Structures are given as C-alpha cells and as structure tokens.
Amino acid sequence: MRRSPSRVLSSGTTRYVAGRLGQALLALFGVVTIVFFALRLSGDPARLLVPDGATAADIDRLRDKLGLNASLWDQYLHFLGNALHGDLGYSYVQNRPATDLITERLPYTANLAVAALLLSLLFGVTVGVITALNRGKWQERVLMPIVLAGQAMPAFWTGLLLVLVFSVGLRWLPSTGYDGPLSLLLPSITLASLSAAAIARVTRGAVLEQLPLDYMRTARAKGASGFRLVSRHLARNTAIPVLTVAGLELANLLGGAVVTEVIFAWPGLGQLTIQSVSARDFPVVQATVILASAVYVVINLCTDLLYGVIDPRVSAGGKGEPA
Amino acid sequence: MGRDRTRKAVAAMAVALATAACGIAPATEGRDASTLVIDTTNYPSTLDPGQQYDTDSYSVYRNIFDPLLRRDPKTNELEPSIATSWSQVDPKTWKFAIRPGVTFSDGTPLTAADAAFSLNRILDKSFGSQQYANFSVVSAASAEGPDLIVRTSVPSPTLLSYLTTLSVVPEAYVKRVGDKEFAAKPIGSGPYVLASATAGSEIVLRANPTWWGPAPQVRGAVFRAVPNVASRVADLQSRKADLVTTLTPDAADQITRDPKLSILSTPTERVAYVAFNAINGGAVNDPRVRHAIAAAINYDALIKNLQRGYAKPINSLLSPLAFGYDTSLPDNRYDPATANRLIDEAGVRGATVVMATSPSFNPQIVQAIQADLAAVGLQVEIRNTDQATYLKKVQAPAHDWGAVRFGRWSCSCLDADGVIYPLFHTGTIWSSYSNPAFDKLVEQARTVTDPAKRVELYNASFRILADDLPGIGLFQDYAIYGANSRLGWTPDAQESFFLTDMKVS
Amino acid sequence: MMKRLRAAAGVRLPLAILVLYVLVAIFAPLVAPYDPDTTTLAQRLMSPDAHHLMGTDALGRDVLSRTMYGTRVSLLVAVVAVLAAGIFGVALGVIAGWRRGWLGAVIMRLVDVVLSVPFFLLAILVVAVLGPSLVNVVLCLALVRWPRYARIAYSTTLQTRDRGFVRAATATGAPAWWIVLRHVLPEVLPVTIVVGTLELGLMVVYEASLSFLGLGVQPPTASWGSILSDGQQYLGSAWWLATFPGLALFVLVLAVNLLGDAARDRLDPARRTDVRRSRIFKREVVTA
C-alpha cells in the first residue's frame, strides 16, 4: 500500500486513484494468469460435454472445436489478445458469451450482497455498541454468543433451517428462487449471520477504544445533554474500522456466496462459479475471476476514499490498510 | 460540520446501494392451476436440441420440439411422432414418412427437409454437437419428397433407438437467425412454446395452441433450477413446486410422510455398476479377486436399506428393459464365504485396492461397498476427485486410475450396444478390459440388424463377461420424482419428461 | 468474588473446554463407544437412544463416535491451517516490511492478488486442481488465508522499524536477523496470535462448507464438517445428524473467541503502559 500524503478531493487524489488502479491492473493480470494455467492443469471440459458412449475421436473433435488442442501458450496469447478487446470468449457449456452470462447474474448477486450487508451492519453495529457500553454485563454475555452462533453455523445449515421454519413450517416466506423482495429475506439473513460477528467485533473494539478518551469522559460526565456529542464523535471515530470490514465483506459477498446461492437456488455469480469450475468452463471461470477482482479493487478504493469524506483528518490511503 | 459530513457519507452510501440493488424483476408470471412448477437440478445448458442431450436440458426442450420417433411410455415400443411410418429400403438405408400438415410455432410448415437438416447439423463438424457420438453411424440424411432418407455407413440396429432422441428443428428459422440466437429463442413444432427464460434460474413454457396433437391438459410449466436436494424437498413441502426431479430414496421417504404429496417412481434403463481395472488394477487383475468382490457385496442391503426399495436386482451390467438382457443368467448373489475363499486362493487378504469415485456418485453406496469388501479382507482406499478430474483419470489410456470404480450408466437407447460396447470393448475411453473374443461379438452385434441373431451374439458376450467379470451390475436404478398429489403422471423408463403425459387436477 | 467469576468465564472455562476437546481428539479411540467407520445398514438413521447416544447416520454409524473422531480431524485441519498460514504470512509480511524495496512490493502485490479472489472461488479452484484430501484441504485453507497475516505483519513491521529502539539497535551494528527476531517479531506476534485464535473457529466452518460442496475430507473419514454436510439433507427428518457436531462446533467457536478476547487483553501493550503501541495493536486486531 503506497501511503500517499494527498488529501481527498485535492489534486493529489487523482494521482492516488490512478496509482491504485495501475497496481490493481497488475494484480488483475496476475490473478488471471494464475487462474488460466491452474484451470487447465486438471480435467477436460470436452469429456464432460460428450455423451457416455463417445469415443476418443469424438472428444478430440470437440476439443478442436473449443480450441483446446492448441498449445497452452497459444491459448494464453489468444485469450489475452481477445481479453484486451473485451472479448472473454464463449461458454463451452452454454455457447454464449461469458460476459453475457456474468452480467445476467450480477444483479442477483448484488441485490443479495447489499441486503446481507445492510442486515449485518444493522445487527452487528447494534450488538457491537451495546456490548461495548455494557462490557462484562449480562447484555454482552447474552448477545455475543448469539452473534457468534451465526458465525459458527455453516450457511448450508442455517439456510436450510430457516427454510424449514419459515417456508415449510410457517409458510410465510418463499423457500427458494427469486419471486420478489420477500425472497431476498431468508438468503440475506443466512449471509448476514455469517458476517454480523465480524462487524460486531470491530464495532465493539472501536467503541472500547474511544471510551477512555477525554472527550468521552467529559461527555459522559455531562450526562444526557452530552449524549448527542457522544454519538456524533463515536460515530465518526468508529466508522472507519467498521467501514473497512464492511467493504471487505461486501467485496466477498459480491464475489458470490456459493453455498447460500446453492441452498436457495439463487441465480447469482456464486452458483455460476461452482458450476463453471466443475464443468471446466474456462471462459466463464476466467470472466468470473476478473469481475470479482475488479469489484474487490473498486470497493477497496471506495472505502479508502470514504475515509476522507467521513473524517477529513484522515488522508486518502492513510488508513487504507484493509486487513 | 461533522454531522454534515456524516450525512454526506450516508447519502453517498445510499446512492451506491440503490444503484446496486436494482435491475432484477421477479420472474414469476401469473401461475394458475393448470401451470406446473417443476424443480430440476440444473438450468438447461442449452435449448438447442442439436447441442446437448443431458437430462436437465432435454427435459425442457423436448417439450418445445417434436421427436422424429417416440416410445410408448408403458411398453417402450417405438411409436410414430413426426415420422408416421418407417421402413428399411436396404440394410443401410431407412425411409421415414414425415407427418403432413405439421407447422412450427412461427407458422412455417415442417417438411422432410427440416428433419434431414436436424440430423445433418449434428453431423456437421463445424457445429460441434456433443451428440455426434450417438449418430456417428449415419453417413447422410436427405429429403426425398415427403420422405426422410437416412443412410448409414454400416447396417445399424440401434439407429431407430437413437432417432427417438432426435428433435426436428426449423431449417429456415435456424439459418436465418443463426445457431446462437436459435438457442436463445428456440422455435419448434412441439406441444409447448418458450414463454420466458431467466438465465440460471427458470424457464417458462406455455401450451402451443397450433400443436398438431391433442391439446395437453397442462397449459404451462415453470422449470426451476434447484441444485440442492433438501431445497427441492422443501419446495415441494412448502407447495412452491408441484413436481421435483432427482430425489434420493431417503428424501422420498421424507416426502411420503406428507399426505398431500406422493412419490412417482419407475425402474429406468440406468444401472448402478462397479467396473474393474482388469489391465492395470493390481490385485483385481486376477479374475478370482473380481469374483470375490462380486460375492462380497451385499446387494440386498444396498437395494433395501440404501435405495429403500427404489432399485431392482439384476444379473449383468444391463437394465432388464434393454435389448440383449439375458434373463437366463443367475442374479448376483451375496456369498461372503465364497468371497473369503477366493481372496485366500488369490492370496490378496489384507491387500489395498483403490476405488476411484467423484461426488456425482452416491457416496453412501461407495462407502457401503467399502465396508462390504473390508468384511472379506480387502482394504478399499476411496479416491474422490471432482467429476472433471475423475473422467480425465479414468479415461486416460494409461489405465492408472485405480482398481475399482462405481458408476451409473444409461445410454438412452435401451440396447446392450450402448452399454457393454463403450464400457468393455478394447480401447474405448471407459474400458480397462480387453478380450478379443468379446470384442468380435459386440462388433458383429453392432452391424447385424436381425434381432434373433443379435440376441444370440449378446448372450455369448454376456457369458464372457460373467466369466471374466470386468464389471458388476449392482442394481437397476429408479427415477424418483416427488409430486403434489394434484399431479397425475406415470414416469417412463427413458426418463423422458413429456408434459403432454401429465394431468393436473 | 464477582471479578474472579468473570475471570473464570473469560479464560478458565474456554480453556477447560479447549483442553477437553484436545483430550477427546487425542484419546478418541479410547473414549469413543464404537468404531466410527463401521457401517450397519440395518441400523441406519436411528434416533438417539441408550445404545447410540447421538443416534446413527445414513450408513448406520454411531454419530457420537464419529463426532469424537471428527474432533481430531477438525482440530487438526484448523490448527495446522492457522499455523501454516500464520507462519508463511508473518514471514513474508516481515520480510516485505523490513526490506521494503522491490521485494516488499512483489510480496505485497502477491498479497493483493490472493486477496482479490473471493475465498470460495479460490478454494474451489485449489481443491479442484489438487483433488480433495485432508492434506489439500489444509493446504487450500492456508493458501487462502495467509495474506491476512502478511498484511498485519507488514504494517506492524513498517511501524516498528522506524521506532527508537530499533534504530538504536541498528546503529549498534547488530545483524538484521537479530533485530528482527529480538525487536520486530515481539511486536508482530501478539497481534498475529490473537487473529490466529479467532481464525481457528472460522477454519472449521470453512472446512464444513468445502465438505458441503464435495471438496472436503475423503469419505469415510469423519470431520465435523463432513458429518454436518452429510446431515444437511436430513435436517427435516433426522435432526440428530447435524445437531450434535453443530453444537460441538459452536462451543469451540465460542471458547476460541473468548480466549482470543482474553489474549488480546493480556497481550495488549497497554498493560505495558505504551499508549501508542496499544492503539496500533488494537487497530490491527480489530480490522484483521
């Protein structure tokens, strides 16, 4: 991480952003190259596509058609050349442009990710603040285990449990698929239960750090009249670590919540990822990786820039040390 | 000041979220009582019937297109569909009379030329159809007036079987819009038309008012892709779905507890089997060890306990429904005493055999077999890799994939040729076995059209297999569907999924 | 009195639980009532009773015995994955922070590369390419998680190397490796240990998710993850399959988190009356 001394919205910001994007492009190139070669180390897409009774010649014919009989190096150059023109190739399985496939799936994943993030922020920050202000009291002893339970239960378990209770038992909510906003509830709760713990922990830590500081002591001494002051200062000073973690969670969620999407038959990037990896649908996997990396970079950049907006004392990149 | 900033930050975030959280609309259309909601495992890989022939794809597209021939769902006998009658002109030439007066849903008439085009595009190498293997015996298809003429390179006894999987596509439309557009907006002559498709999620079909057959009772169908079996069960239980496919026997037990739900199941042409590496399999290179393993497996326990009765015992690696099944062979027998004796005779007690498998194959059966073999003194090391890696390993010419593998086989052809030839003929991608006498018999059976002669050849082949035992048929598998009791349907052995066969109340 | 109780709840209870888990893991063959892999198809899916306290699974195996043996595998996976990722990550992070220059840049770009691929995508790729096995699951988790430690080590090293006592040591001409060992690592390790403790529970959950996707440990080996994922399709019919290993996992995560909190308080340099170091420490732990 380069620590640019530039301030947000100052002339240096542009240079800072450009530098970050340049580095990101380099990282992206690395990711894509590794994935390209790693994918081709195991498994042959053609074998998965032909019927059981196919002969070796049938498989070879299909490999020719898919361009898999060229040397690895040629395939790589070909891929890079096309990628520069925005062409990430055609899905072997669906015979459609890989970029089309991922852009169709992106809105579903984005909806789910945002809903999950909002829920986990709501829950995580509340629990974090309550437990920090009541350190060692019963509130902490009750709330922390609940949040941790969410983290301790794998999504395939939480998700199905929710479905069994709210869809099969009570018939309140749809079980799988997307039929409107209500469908969003169960999968986003499932996802939020996984990330709420991280957010609660960060919030709690950040609030605890502020409590012994002078302004807090003063504010507390002033009693109720100081409440506004407390909340304002507290909010500003805890926002940065919380935002850092929230940004990371969002980036991860946007990469596709594989297990949750499988359980809820959610047509997002997570399902596409696991399906195209197991089908060795190389172009789609590559496209997914590129998209996920790009999303990660952009979100990181956004959180970095947001630091400056929230707290002008912080220079862009100064606290841009997302763990 | 500070609050102002906070407000700005919140506003910025809200904008970011709002832009992210838009752009999807619920796919559900008005779903009335005559519309079926069907959960399958995967979204179809294509709606172009010339491309893939996998269950999740053809379950949808075979309702949009008409097949050249079809099978009676009860007797499995060939029946007319787009071809009203057919005859053999000479050993290598077949003539099919194409049904007159059929139109595609865009109004263009269906002709013999369309039928010929449908077959020829699969054979066209630049098209790269995955079904090429099923029709590779065909040398040319052409239209002669109202008739379709299909020529084969050698006399082919299985041609008609494979032609039941051939859907007739509109030549003019395909050529006009191109293959890619055709896969996105398929037009067929079948009982249903595509109403809408949400990629990766669901496909909606609606009855085709101009279909030539009797109007189907199911007026619409929604195919949803739900990969997790427990989620499919939940969909059925919560009344989200009317029909779900590919259930496990345990899930079936769970469904029968709900009085409003029922299980529809049928024996299929799919068999569960164990195949050996008889070329480079270590201990199992010895036929005695293979026979020992065959005697060590508790078939009844597999069928009764694991399959919960959704399976039938068999005597060879073929479904009893398929042509060439020899009923005179004895069924597999669980006989641990014999197994122990053979293990000792071969001197392999305590030896370790590697069992190759993938997550696609029921891990419960794999582990049950492992336990059965351990009971007679053979240690089984399960080597589980994902399907792509598994295929690459098992099909590698080096035959170094291990000693034993578990699998399921279905050729969608109801014929021994589609099973034992690819599995055991020397040099095929699946075969790790070689016997020239067997090779000769199955090669001959491929090019003889006289059924009596073929039965004779297959009986001889199965006798060789019973002696050499390069593989064991474990049981005939059932297709298990869960359904709301408002649905009336008898699934068929070929696992074709014709909505026209279904009734709703 | 209250204070002591609280301290007990804070450290002693979770520590006792952890010790118990380790003991069960080590002595599983002695305490488990049955062989974990013996299948009895006639007794499959039996609900808990006097013979099988946690019931039997879909192959008639004793769930209690499998959960006990599963403790072995799950703890092993978690501990080895955390250690491997931690050691590798700290080593690279310290090198990058100490040497800076091109080597530091290369290492930190590598960190970016790994971090920018979503966890599951990377995990699926790694396991699909290497094939699922106990060793590869550990390898996969370590490969995916080391950048977290590298980042912490990197920024802590950067902050430490400019501090007075390190400069003083450099001025005396002490060799770099000695300074790193003597002055830098003691600053880096406390944060890493706290983060590592918190990661332990997460590794078990990740292993479970890999099992669910068919990429976990090999059958018939029992791990909590494999039992949980096998039990998933029986959640509505045989609740005991997933419930007991799930509880075991929950208690572990709870204990490990309490310990992590305690370790943070214990290792916090604030106790050593250095406010600046304490703040750095807290920030690193909190955002890790």
pLDDT at A149 over 50: yes
Query: Is pLDDT of B62 > 80?
Result: yes
DSSP A199-224: HHHHHHHHHHHHTTSHHHHHHHHHGG
Q: Give the whole-angstrom CA distance, residue C259 versus residue C11.
A: 6
pLDDT at C240 exceeding the cut of 70? yes
Q: Name the band, by pLDDT with cuts 50, 70 and 90, for residue A323.
A: very low
A161-175, A239-253, B252-266: least confidently modelled range: A239-253
Q: How far is CA A321 from CA A252, B111, C155, in A?
A: 17, 68, 8
pLDDT at site C285? 58
Residue A317: the pLDDT is 41
Unique residue bearing structure tokens 């690819």: B422
Residues in Cβ contact with B389 at an 8 Å cutoff, skipping those fewer than 6 apart: A42, A43, B358, C128, C131
On chain A, the residues whose CB falls within 8 A of the CB of C130 are 42
Write the pLDDT tens digit of every residue in B79-99: 999 999 999 999 999 999 999
Interface of A with B in 255-284 (CB under 8 A): 262-265, 267-268, 271-272, 275, 278-280
DSSP result, A40-51: TTS--HHHHHS-
> Model confidence at A50, in pLDDT bands (50, 70, 90)?
confident
Instruction: Supply the mean pLDDT for chain B.
Output: 91
State how far the Cα of B274 lies from the Cα of B366, in Å rounded to an integer.
10
Res. B20: pLDDT tops 50: no
Q: Which two tokens stand for residue A37?
A: 């070669």
Which of C208, C259, C262, C196 has the alpha carbon at shortest distance from C21? C259
Instruction: From C88, C189, C100, select the one nearest C139 (Cα to Cα).
Output: C88
pLDDT of residue A14: 82
Measure the CA angle with vertex B282, ends B277 and B285; round to 5°: 55
**Per-residue confidence (pLDDT) for residue B467, from 0 to 100:** 95
Contact across the interface for C257 and A144, Cβ inside 8 Å:
yes
Contact C91, C70 (CB under 8 A): no
Residue B66, pLDDT score: 97
**What local confidence, expressed as pLDDT, does residue A219 receive?**
66
Task: Check residue B389 and give its pLDDT.
Answer: 87
Q: For residues B275 and B161, what is the distance between their CA atoms, to the nearest angstrom?
A: 25
pLDDT at A10: 57
Amino acid occupying residue C166: V
| Contact indicator for A159, A264 with CB cutoff of 8 Å | yes
pLDDT at C36 over 70: yes
- Is residue A86 predicted with pLDDT exceeding 90? no
Lowest mean pLDDT among A196-200, B104-108, C65-69: A196-200
Residues 6+ apart with CB under 8 A from A267: A105, A108, A177, A178, A261, B43, B198, B199, B200, B201, B225
Residues whose CB is less than 8 angstroms from the CB of residue C172 and which lie 6 or more positions away in sequence, other chains included: none
Sign of the dihedral through C-alpha B194, B196, B198, B203: negative
Residue with tokens 């449908």: B118
Task: Give me the residue label for tokens 């520590």.
Answer: C15
CA B438 → CA A200, B281, B435, B467, distances in Å? 69, 20, 5, 11
- Nearest CA-CA partner of B87 in B75, B73, B97: B97
Structure tokens at B432: 């790790």
CB–CB of C121 and A42 under 8 A?
A: no
Tell me, letter by letter, the H, E, C secondary structure of B403-420: CEEEEEECCCCCECHHHH
Distances (CA, A) of A170 to B39, B237, B465: 21, 11, 55
Position A314 scores a pLDDT of 52
Tokens of A137: 């009291």
Q: Which residues of A touch B16 (CB under 8 A)?
A: 302
Which is more confident, B15 or A140?
A: A140
pLDDT at B17: 46
State whether residue A18 is helix, strand or coil: helix
- CA A188 to mean position of chain CA atoms: 13
CA distances from C103 to A323, C110, C145, C149, C182 (A): 20, 11, 21, 17, 22
pLDDT the model gives residue B1: 39
Minimal CA separation from A296 to chain C, in Å: 6
Contacts of B364 in chain C (CB under 8 A): 58-59
Interface test with B, best of C37, C38, C41 (most B CBs within 10 A): C41
Average pLDDT over residues B228-235: 95
Peptide bond into C220 cis (omega under 30): yes
- Give CA–CA dist B407/B391, Å, rounded: 11
ipTM of the complex: 0.86
Partner residues linked to B222 by β-bridges: B37, B204
CB contact residues (below 8 A), chain B span 338-357, against chain C: none
Residues A113-131 have pLDDT tens digits of 999 999 999 999 999 888 8
Q: Which residues of A172-188 are buried (b: 16+ CB within 10 A; e: fewer)?
A: ebbbbbbeeeebbbbbb
Q: Mean pLDDT over residues A73-79, rounded?
A: 93
The partner residue sitting opposite A167, judged by closest CB among B179, B234, B388, is B234
Say yes or no for a CB contact (<8 Å) between A111 and B53.
no
Contacts of A269 (CB under 8 A, 6+ apart): A102, A105, A106, A108, A109, A254, A255, A256, A261, A288, A291, A292
- Report the C-alpha gap between A258 and C96 in whole angstroms: 33
Strands (E), B348-411: 352-357, 379-384, 404-409
**Per-residue model confidence (pLDDT) at position C279:** 61
Please, which chains are in contact with B (at least 3 CB pairs closer than 8 A)? Answer: A, C
Q: Which range has the top average pLDDT, A60-64, C6-10, C262-266?
A: A60-64
Give me the mean pLDDT over the C202-214 stretch. 86
pLDDT higher than threshold 70 for residue A320: no
Does the pLDDT value for residue C270 go beyond 60?
no
Question: In b/e form, how buried is each residue of A121-143, taking b as 16+ CB within 10 angstroms?
Answer: bebbbebbbbbbbeeeeeebeeb
For residue C139, count CB atoms less than 10 angstroms from its CB and return exposed for 0-12, middle for 13-18, buried for 19 or more. Answer: middle
Indicate the Cα dihedral angle A111, A115, A121, A126, nearest 10°: 170
Per the document, the length of chain A is 323
Nearest to C233 among B248, B359, B367 (CB): B248
Residues B416/B323, Cβ–Cβ less than 8 Å = yes
**What is the spatial distance between Cα B319 and Cα B330, in angstroms, rounded to a whole number?**
14
Q: What whole-number distance in Å separates Cα of residue B201 and Cα of residue B44?
A: 10
pLDDT value of position B480:
96
Residues of B within 8 A of A107 (CB-CB) are 22-24
B297-311, B479-493, C3-17, C219-233: range with lowest mean pLDDT? C3-17
Query: Does B388 have pLDDT greater than 90?
Result: no
- Write down the pLDDT at residue A1: 39
Q: For B137-177, how does the pLDDT look when each residue is reduced to its tens digit (9 = 90+)?
A: 999 999 999 999 999 999 999 999 999 999 999 999 999 99
> What's the whole-model pTM score?
0.89
**Contact C45/B250, CB-based, under 8 Å?**
yes
Name which of A156, A243, A281, A304 to mutate to probe chain C: the one with the most chain C Cβ atoms within 10 A of its Cβ.
A156
- Token readout for A323 is 């763990």
CB contact set of B181 (below 8 Å; sequence gap of 6+): none
Pick from A18, A16, A38: nearest CA to A26? A18
B225 min Cα distance to partner chain A (Å): 7
> What HEC string does B104-139 produce?
CCCCCECCHHHHHHHHHHHHCCCCCCCCHHHHCCEE
pLDDT average, residue stretch B233-250: 94
Question: pLDDT tens digits for B465-493?
Answer: 999 999 999 999 999 999 999 999 999 88
**Residue B109 β-bridge partners:** B103
Between CA C153 and CA A136 the distance in angstroms is 31
Touching partners of C (3+ C-beta pairs < 8 Å): A, B
Q: How confident is the model at residue B230 (pLDDT cuts 50, 70, 90)?
A: very high
Neighbours of B486 (CB within 10 A): 13
Q: Is the pLDDT reported for residue C7 higher than 60?
A: no
| Surface of A (40-79) touching B: CB under 8 A | 42-45, 47-56, 58-59, 61-62, 65-66
Greater model confidence, A50 or B9 = A50
CA gap A94, C180 in Å, rounded:
54
pLDDT of residue B29: 46
Distance, first Cα to last Cα, chain B: 67
**DSSP single-letter state for residue B356:** E
Q: Is the backbone of residue A29 left (phi > 0), alpha (psi -120 to 50) or beta?
A: alpha
CB contact (8 A) between residue B230 and residue C233? yes
Q: In this predicted model, which residue has the larger pLDDT, A304 or B373?
A: B373
